[in-house]
A and B are shown apart, each in its own frame.
Chain A
Amino acid sequence: MIKKTFLVSAIAASAFACGAQARDQVQIVGSSTVFPFATAVAEEIGKSSGGKTPIVESTGTGGGFKLLCAGAGDNTPDVANASRAIKSSETEQCASNKAGDIIEVKIGYDGIVVANSRSAPQLSLTLKDIFLALAKDVPDADGKTKPNPYKTWKDVNPSLPDAKIEVLGPPPTSGTRDAFVELAMEGGCKTFPWVKALANDYKDAFAKICHSIREDGAFIEAGENDNLIIQKLVANPNAMGVFGFSFLDQNTDKVQGSIVENTEPSFDNIASGAYKVSRPLFFYVKAAHLDTVPGLKLYLAEFISEKAWGPEGYLAGKGLIPMPDEERAKVHSDVAANAKL
Chain B
Amino acid sequence: MTDDTDFPKAVAAAALLQRRYRAETRFRWYGILATALALFFLGAMLISIVIIGHSAFRQTFVKLDIFFDPQILAADGKTDTDSLRRADYPALVRTSLREMFPGVSGRREQRQLYDLVSRGAPDSLREQVVKNPALIGSRASLWLLSSDDVDLFVKGEISRDTPESERQLTDLQLGWAEQIVAQGAADLRFNTAFFTTGDSREPETAGIWGAVAGSFYTLIVTMLLSFPIGVMAAVYLQEFAPKNRITEMIEVNINNLAAVPSIVFGLLGLAVFLNFLQMPRSAPLVGGIVLALMTLPTIIIAARAAILAVPPSIREAALAIGASPMQTAFHHVAPLAAPGMLTGAIIGMARALGETAPLLMIGMVAFIVDIPEGVFDAATVLPVQIFLWADSPERAFVAKMAAGIMVLLTFLIAMNLIAVILRRRFEQKW
Contact = CB atoms under 8 A, between A and B. Distances in A.
Contact of B85 (A12, A48, A256): A48
Interface stretch (B50-58, B243-251, B260-268, B366-374): B366-374
Given A15-B277, A18-B285, A317-B115, A56 B393 contact: no
A225 interface: yes
Nearest to A57: B366
A52 B278 contact: no
Size bin of chain B's contact surface: 35 or more
B337 interface: no
A151 interface: no
From B115, B168, B368, B394, residue with most partner A Cβ within 10 Å: B368
A250 B303 CA distance: 53
Nearest to A302: B86
Given A40-B201, A43-B369, A49 B277 contact: no
Size bin of chain A's contact surface: 35 or more
A233 B127 CA distance: 41
A5 interface: no
A231 B392 CA distance: 9
A330 B113 CA distance: 31
A292 interface: no
B201 A39 contact: yes
Contacts of A36: 201
Nearest to B82: A49
A55 B366 contact: yes
B36 to A, nearest CB: 31
Interface in A19-56: 19, 25, 35-36, 39-40, 42-43, 46-50, 52-53, 55-56
A269 interface: no
B407 to A, nearest CB: 22
Interface of B (DSSP majority class): loop
B85 A50 contact: yes
A228 B391 contact: yes
A57 B199 CA distance: 13
B393 A252 contact: no
B35 interface: no
A253 B280 contact: no
Given A50-B85, A55-B368, A253-B165, A19 B391 contact: no
A25 B165 CA distance: 41
From B123, B167, B367, residue with most partner A Cβ within 10 Å: B367
Given A25-B370, A35-B367, 17 more contacts: A15-B273, A15-B278, A18-B280, A39-B367, A42-B367, A42-B369, A46-B370, A47-B120, A48-B85, A50-B85, A53-B370, A56-B366, A57-B282, A57-B363, A118-B165, A228-B391, A253-B168
28 contacts: A11-B289, A12-B277, A15-B277, A15-B278, A15-B280, A16-B278, A19-B280, A25-B378, A39-B201, A40-B201, A42-B367, A47-B120, A48-B85, A49-B85, A57-B282, A57-B366, A58-B367, A75-B278, A75-B280, A118-B166, A227-B391, A227-B392, A230-B393, A231-B393, A250-B393, A250-B394, A253-B166, A253-B168
Interface of A: 11-12, 14-16, 18-19, 25, 35-36, 39-40, 42-43, 46-50, 52-53, 55-58, 75, 118, 225, 227-228, 230-231, 247, 250-254, 256, 307, 311-312, 314, 317
